[in-house]
Protein backbone atom coordinates (compact mmCIF):
# COMPACT_ATOMS: atom_id res chain seq x y z
CA UNK A 1 0.00 0.00 0.00
CA UNK A 2 1.48 3.34 -0.98
CA UNK A 3 1.25 5.84 1.83
CA UNK A 4 0.13 9.42 1.44
CA UNK A 5 0.32 12.32 3.86
CA UNK A 6 -3.04 14.09 3.88
CA UNK A 7 -5.34 14.86 6.77
CA UNK A 8 -7.34 11.96 8.10
CA UNK A 9 -10.32 14.21 8.63
CA UNK A 10 -10.46 15.05 4.93
CA UNK A 11 -10.36 11.38 3.96
CA UNK A 12 -13.03 10.37 6.46
CA UNK A 13 -15.19 13.26 5.30
CA UNK A 14 -15.01 11.93 1.76
CA UNK A 15 -16.08 8.46 2.88
CA UNK A 16 -19.00 9.92 4.77
CA UNK A 17 -20.10 11.80 1.67
CA UNK A 18 -19.97 8.62 -0.35
CA UNK A 19 -21.89 6.66 2.24
CA UNK A 20 -24.79 9.11 2.54
CA UNK A 21 -26.64 11.66 0.45
CA UNK A 22 -24.75 14.93 0.20
CA UNK A 23 -25.39 18.33 -1.27
CA UNK A 24 -21.70 18.78 -2.08
CA UNK A 25 -21.49 19.41 -5.84
CA UNK A 26 -19.14 17.26 -7.88
CA UNK A 27 -16.56 18.69 -10.24
CA UNK A 28 -18.12 16.70 -13.10
CA UNK A 29 -21.51 15.12 -13.50
CA UNK A 30 -20.25 12.31 -15.74
CA UNK A 31 -16.96 10.55 -16.30
CA UNK A 32 -15.16 11.39 -19.53
CA UNK A 33 -13.13 9.11 -21.82
CA UNK A 34 -9.37 9.19 -21.31
CA UNK A 35 -7.86 12.52 -22.37
CA UNK A 36 -5.38 12.23 -25.21
CA UNK A 37 -1.94 13.80 -25.46
CA UNK A 38 -1.78 13.63 -21.66
CA UNK A 39 0.67 11.57 -19.64
CA UNK A 40 -1.20 9.40 -17.11
CA UNK A 41 0.91 8.09 -14.23
CA UNK A 42 0.02 4.76 -12.69
CA UNK A 43 -0.86 5.06 -9.00
CA UNK A 44 -1.78 1.42 -8.45
CA UNK A 45 -4.24 -1.36 -9.26
CA UNK A 46 -6.77 -3.15 -7.10
CA UNK A 47 -8.63 -6.43 -7.30
CA UNK A 48 -10.62 -8.65 -4.96
CA UNK A 49 -7.48 -10.54 -4.05
CA UNK A 50 -4.55 -8.16 -4.36
CA UNK A 51 -3.12 -4.67 -4.65
CA UNK A 52 -0.07 -3.72 -6.69
CA UNK A 53 1.51 -0.35 -7.31
CA UNK A 54 4.82 1.14 -8.37
CA UNK A 55 7.32 2.51 -5.85
CA UNK A 56 7.77 5.49 -8.21
CA UNK A 57 4.73 6.48 -10.25
CA UNK A 58 6.87 8.62 -12.56
CA UNK A 59 8.36 5.40 -13.98
CA UNK A 60 5.00 4.01 -15.13
CA UNK A 61 2.75 5.95 -17.46
CA UNK A 62 0.62 5.78 -20.58
CA UNK A 63 -0.18 8.42 -23.17
CA UNK A 64 -2.72 8.13 -26.00
CA UNK A 65 -1.93 10.13 -29.12
CA UNK A 66 -4.27 12.14 -31.32
CA UNK A 67 -6.79 10.37 -33.54
CA UNK A 68 -5.84 9.56 -37.09
CA UNK A 69 -8.40 11.30 -39.31
CA UNK A 70 -10.86 11.45 -36.40
CA UNK A 71 -11.63 7.71 -36.58
CA UNK A 72 -10.71 6.88 -32.98
CA UNK A 73 -7.45 5.20 -33.97
CA UNK A 74 -4.10 6.43 -32.68
CA UNK A 75 -0.82 5.32 -31.15
CA UNK A 76 -0.27 4.78 -27.43
CA UNK A 77 3.05 5.15 -25.66
CA UNK A 78 3.58 2.95 -22.60
CA UNK A 79 6.52 3.55 -20.28
CA UNK A 80 7.74 1.43 -17.38
CA UNK A 81 10.89 1.43 -15.29
CA UNK A 82 12.53 -1.03 -17.68
CA UNK A 83 10.71 -0.75 -20.99
CA UNK A 84 9.15 1.67 -23.40
CA UNK A 85 6.44 0.34 -25.67
CA UNK A 86 4.09 1.51 -28.37
CA UNK A 87 0.70 0.09 -29.26
CA UNK A 88 -2.19 0.68 -31.60
CA UNK A 89 -4.98 2.38 -29.65
CA UNK A 90 -8.67 2.51 -30.46
CA UNK A 91 -11.00 4.69 -28.41
CA UNK A 92 -14.71 5.50 -28.39
CA UNK A 93 -16.76 8.38 -27.00
CA UNK A 94 -18.24 5.92 -24.52
CA UNK A 95 -14.83 5.47 -22.87
CA UNK A 96 -13.78 2.17 -24.43
CA UNK A 97 -10.07 1.70 -25.09
CA UNK A 98 -8.32 -1.14 -26.85
CA UNK A 99 -4.53 -1.50 -27.00
CA UNK A 100 -3.22 -3.97 -29.56
CA UNK A 101 0.13 -4.88 -31.08
CA UNK A 102 2.18 -3.78 -28.08
CA UNK A 103 5.83 -3.63 -29.08
CA UNK A 104 8.38 -3.00 -26.33
CA UNK A 105 12.08 -2.26 -26.16
CA UNK A 106 14.39 -2.33 -23.15
CA UNK A 107 15.45 1.01 -21.68
CA UNK A 108 17.47 1.99 -18.63
CA UNK A 109 16.19 -0.11 -15.75
CA UNK A 110 15.83 0.34 -12.00
CA UNK A 111 15.29 -2.29 -9.31
CA UNK A 112 11.48 -2.25 -9.39
CA UNK A 113 10.20 -4.48 -12.17
CA UNK A 114 6.43 -4.35 -12.46
CA UNK A 115 6.37 -3.85 -16.20
CA UNK A 116 4.98 -7.32 -16.98
CA UNK A 117 1.97 -6.86 -14.68
CA UNK A 118 1.46 -3.25 -15.80
CA UNK A 119 1.49 -4.06 -19.51
CA UNK A 120 -0.64 -7.18 -19.06
CA UNK A 121 -3.31 -5.16 -17.26
CA UNK A 122 -3.33 -2.63 -20.11
CA UNK A 123 -4.34 -5.44 -22.47
CA UNK A 124 -7.42 -6.09 -20.28
CA UNK A 125 -8.97 -2.60 -20.40
CA UNK A 126 -12.74 -2.36 -20.40
CA UNK A 127 -13.74 1.27 -19.71
CA UNK A 128 -11.79 4.47 -19.03
CA UNK A 129 -13.33 7.00 -16.64
CA UNK A 130 -11.59 10.35 -16.36
CA UNK A 131 -12.49 12.78 -13.60
CA UNK A 132 -10.41 15.92 -13.93
CA UNK A 133 -6.79 15.01 -13.29
CA UNK A 134 -7.47 11.42 -12.22
CA UNK A 135 -8.37 8.36 -14.22
CA UNK A 136 -9.87 5.00 -13.33
CA UNK A 137 -9.61 2.14 -15.81
CA UNK A 138 -11.85 -0.83 -15.16
CA UNK A 139 -10.55 -4.16 -16.37
CA UNK A 140 -12.28 -7.18 -17.86
CA UNK A 141 -12.53 -8.92 -14.46
CA UNK A 142 -15.30 -7.35 -12.36
CA UNK A 143 -13.79 -5.50 -9.40
CA UNK A 144 -10.35 -5.08 -11.01
CA UNK A 145 -9.25 -1.52 -11.74
CA UNK A 146 -6.20 0.63 -12.45
CA UNK A 147 -5.82 4.17 -11.10
CA UNK A 148 -3.88 7.01 -12.70
CA UNK A 149 -3.10 10.66 -12.07
CA UNK A 150 -1.58 13.46 -14.12
CA UNK A 151 0.56 14.17 -11.07
CA UNK A 152 3.34 11.59 -10.53
CA UNK A 153 3.75 12.84 -6.96
CA UNK A 154 0.12 12.15 -6.04
CA UNK A 155 -0.58 9.77 -3.16
CA UNK A 156 -2.65 6.60 -3.41
CA UNK A 157 -4.18 4.18 -0.92
CA UNK A 158 -6.71 1.36 -1.13
CA UNK A 159 -8.73 -0.45 1.52
CA UNK A 160 -11.09 -3.41 1.49
CA UNK A 161 -14.43 -2.22 2.89
CA UNK A 162 -16.53 -5.34 2.35
CA UNK A 163 -16.58 -8.57 0.41
CA UNK A 164 -17.73 -6.70 -2.68
CA UNK A 165 -16.40 -3.16 -2.39
CA UNK A 166 -13.06 -1.45 -1.87
CA UNK A 167 -12.11 2.15 -1.25
CA UNK A 168 -9.46 3.82 -3.42
CA UNK A 169 -8.20 7.35 -2.85
CA UNK A 170 -5.84 9.65 -4.77
CA UNK A 171 -4.60 12.85 -3.17
CA UNK A 172 -3.02 15.56 -5.29
CA UNK A 173 -2.39 18.95 -3.77
CA UNK A 174 -5.61 20.04 -2.08
CA UNK A 175 -7.80 17.65 -4.10
CA UNK A 176 -9.01 14.31 -2.83
CA UNK A 177 -10.52 11.83 -5.31
CA UNK A 178 -12.28 8.81 -3.84
CA UNK A 179 -13.90 5.72 -5.34
CA UNK A 180 -16.07 3.35 -3.35
CA UNK A 181 -16.70 0.51 -5.76
CA UNK A 182 -18.12 2.30 -8.81
CA UNK A 183 -19.11 5.43 -6.87
CA UNK A 184 -16.92 8.52 -7.19
CA UNK A 185 -16.53 11.79 -5.37
CA UNK A 186 -13.98 14.58 -5.53
CA UNK A 187 -13.40 17.20 -2.88
CA UNK A 188 -11.25 20.31 -3.09
CA UNK A 189 -10.00 21.82 0.14
CA UNK A 190 -8.02 25.05 -0.45
CA UNK A 191 -5.13 25.38 1.94
CA UNK A 192 -4.89 21.70 2.90
CA UNK A 193 -1.72 21.07 0.94
CA UNK A 194 0.11 23.98 2.56
CA UNK A 195 -1.23 23.49 6.08
CA UNK A 196 1.45 23.57 8.76
CA UNK A 197 -0.33 20.72 10.53
CA UNK A 198 0.37 18.41 7.61
CA UNK A 199 4.08 18.12 8.41
CA UNK A 200 3.43 16.70 11.86
CA UNK A 201 1.13 14.04 10.43
CA UNK A 202 3.94 12.20 8.66
CA UNK A 203 5.24 10.82 11.97
CA UNK A 204 1.90 9.13 12.66
CA UNK A 205 1.03 8.28 9.06
CA UNK A 206 0.61 4.56 9.62
CA UNK A 207 -1.72 5.17 12.55
CA UNK A 208 -3.80 7.46 10.34
CA UNK A 209 -4.03 4.83 7.61
CA UNK A 210 -5.03 2.18 10.14
CA UNK A 211 -7.73 4.51 11.48
CA UNK A 212 -9.02 5.16 7.96
CA UNK A 213 -9.20 1.45 7.20
CA UNK A 214 -11.06 0.80 10.48
CA UNK A 215 -13.48 3.65 9.73
CA UNK A 216 -14.08 2.27 6.25
CA UNK A 217 -14.98 -1.13 7.64
CA UNK A 218 -17.19 0.42 10.30
CA UNK A 219 -19.14 2.59 7.87
CA UNK A 220 -19.56 -0.10 5.25
CA UNK A 221 -20.04 -3.33 7.23
CA UNK A 222 -20.50 -6.72 5.58
Through-space distance between the first and last CA atoms of the chain, rounded to whole angstroms: 22
**Nearest-10 crossing angle of helices 205-219, 8-19:** 10
Helices (H) and strands (E) in the chain, counts: 4, 13
Among residues 116, 144, 172, the one where a domain terminates is 144
d(CA 170, CA 204): 19
**pLDDT digit string, tens, across residues 103-154:** 877 666 655 568 888 988 999 999 999 999 999 999 998 889 999 999 999 9
Distance CA 209, CA 196 (A): 20
Are residues 159 and 219 located together in one domain of the fold? yes
User: Nearest 5 degrees, angle CA 75-CA 76-CA 78?
Assistant: 150
CA dihedral sign, ordered 90, 74, 103, 2 = negative
> What is the tally of structural domains in the chain?
2
CA 84 to chain centre: 21
pLDDT category of residue 176 using cuts at 50, 70 and 90: confident
CA 119 to CA 87: how far, in whole Å? 11
Structural domain containing residue 49? 37-144
Q: Kindly state whether residue 88 falls inside one of the protein's structural domains.
A: yes
Same domain assignment for residues 140 and 196 = no
Does the pLDDT value for residue 5 go beyond 50? Answer: no
Global pTM value: 0.76
Amino acid sequence: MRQFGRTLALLIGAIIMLGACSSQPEVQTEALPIAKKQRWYWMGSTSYLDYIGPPHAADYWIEIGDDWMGLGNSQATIHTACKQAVANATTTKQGRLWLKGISAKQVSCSADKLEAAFIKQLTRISITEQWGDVLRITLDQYGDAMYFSRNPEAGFASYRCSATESLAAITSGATLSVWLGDKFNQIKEPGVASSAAQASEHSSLQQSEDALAANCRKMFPL
